[in-house]
Amino acid sequence: MVELSVVVPIYNETENIERLYKCITEAVMDKVAGYEIILVNDGSTDGTEHGLDKLASEDLHVEVIHFRKNCGQTAAIQAGIRKASGKYIALIDADLQTDPNDFFTLLPYLAEFDFANGWRTKRKDTYLKKISSRIGNGVRNWITGDVIEDTGCPMKLFKREVAESLQLYDGFHRFLPTLARMNGYTVVEVPVSHREREFGISKYGVMNRVFVGLMDAIVIGWLRKRAIRFEIRRE
């Protein structure tokens, strides 16, 4: 039985692959009843594919999905979630700026909540990146009517039933806590550690964080207002 599925969207992270695998494995081994690591290659062009296949051939805990072409982070997360078989599903980025050990910082909260979202309270990013992220979070919260301090944090942990309730479209990975709440699930934000990227480059800039998600936020805000909610007294 798989207790924890770790889903990682990956795009051009060849320098991080081995380190990513070791960090996740060391974090979860012997701490859960069973685990799987689902690595989703989002059409990488830098040799990432070969590194992932090597890991999968050496460790049965590793499952790899290769996209034919780059489809974006939401698509990679969706594919990984669909493949996952665990009771709990964890998300983390391949850059390892968040620490896989924090899965177990979030896990105790799932005794009371359905979705635990990481909150990078002490970010190790450039000033411009921190400001753009703060503005992006503020704009998304203002439009959607939700209150999430760090919706862009890649560290997330949620129950299987939450995953099964999600209907994702391109760009919706930025709104997973809000979507979970819209579907009737409880959400908590938990401070997690954050560190500087050691290898590779960020795939997002100011334009991505502030402006690209604007139309998505408008759609989410509309969906939130139009969501159907009812309770059956009896049948």
Domain range list for the chain: 4-122+153-200
C-beta of residue 84 within 8 angstroms of C-beta of residue 156: no
The SS3 assignment for 54 reads helix
Structure tokens at 229: 């909610």
Question: Between residues 47 and 148, which one has the greater pLDDT?
Answer: 47
Query: 41 pLDDT exceeds 90?
Result: yes
List the one residue out of 210, 188, 198, 193 whose CA is nearest residue 121. 193
Question: How far, in Å, CA of 48 to CA of 62, rounded?
Answer: 15
pTM, whole model, 2 decimals? 0.82
Query: 9 pLDDT exceeds 90?
Result: yes
Element (H, E) at 102: none
**For 4-122+153-200, which CATH superfamily applies?**
Spore Coat Polysaccharide Biosynthesis Protein SpsA; Chain A (3.90.550.10)
Report the 10 Å Cβ neighbour count for 177.
Answer: 25
Tell me how long the chain is.
235
* DSSP H stretches of helix in the chain: 17-28, 48-58, 73-83, 103-106, 127-144, 160-165, 176-182, 206-207, 214-226
Average pLDDT, the chain: 85
Report the phi/psi class of residue 43: left, alpha or beta, with left for phi > 0 and alpha for psi in -120 to 50.
Answer: left
233 pLDDT tier (thresholds 50, 70, 90): confident
Instruction: Give the per-residue pLDDT at 127.
Output: 53
149-156 average pLDDT score = 86
C-beta of residue 86 within 8 angstroms of C-beta of residue 5: yes
Query: Residues of the chain with pLDDT > 90: what percent?
Result: 59
Which range, 33-37, 133-137, 182-186, has the best average confidence (pLDDT)?
A: 33-37
Query: 207 pLDDT exceeds 70?
Result: no
Residue that is written with structure tokens 């997002």 in the block: 204
List the one residue out of 219, 216, 221 whose CA is nearest residue 73. 216
| pLDDT tens, position by position, 75-134 | 999 999 999 999 999 999 998 999 999 999 999 999 999 999 999 887 655 555 655 566
Question: Between residues 200 and 138, which one has the greater pLDDT?
Answer: 138
142, 91, 205, 189: CA torsion to nearest 10: 40
